[in-house]
A = this chain, B = another copy of it.
């Protein structure tokens, strides 16, 4: 919105979902207001950082009072674009793809699954979570007739690059890549690489260094 202000650092953006999570929790507990200080203790960060982070997007609080939890929750949801009815498809209906299709948290955050694709003739036509698996050959056709904002890629590594290009060529603006390869588009395509084995390796490192 305030587009002339300085660019929001990546680290701040990455923290937004975490704030959103904690605020959702407070909301559930029927807590109406919270100060940056109280929140900082819960989240194990500094109050200063919280105030700085929020102020990239404008003042959501009130001096002497703090932040209204419900309002702040809504605002951060807005900033994250959770109220935009974003749609997504899953390409690759293997174990991970199937699990994600059943992952109801995505829907709870406002993302709507509108298609699942695979190239295995044996599973095309079967349903996951009420959605029929379509032939991956028909992706372009599907994208011509349906607005799709995000594609989750759970295809084999060899197929990622080609799939990604087909999708972005048809207007998909965001990719969530689960394959071992790293995707990188510098154009107008947003990419999140989710490397599950990276997390396991990091964990392994930490365990090692914990017993130094």
Contacts and interface: CB of A to CB of B under 8 A. Distances in A.
Task: Work out how many copies of this chain go into the complex.
Answer: 2
Contact of A95 (B99, B109, B188): B99
B201 A150 contact: no
A201 B100 contact: no
A173 B208 CA distance: 9
Contact of A201 (B82, B95, B202, B207): B82
Contacts of A17: 195, 197-198, 201-202
A82 B88 CA distance: 35
Interface string A127-158: 00000000000000000000001100000000
A192 B196 CA distance: 10
A196 B44 contact: no
A169 interface: no
B203 A174 contact: yes
Given A176-B199, A196-B105, A199-B176, A205 B96 contact: no
B84 A180 contact: no
Nearest to A184: B44
Given A16-B201, A21-B198, A188-B210, 8 more contacts: A14-B202, A82-B204, A105-B196, A149-B207, A173-B210, A176-B203, A190-B206, A192-B203
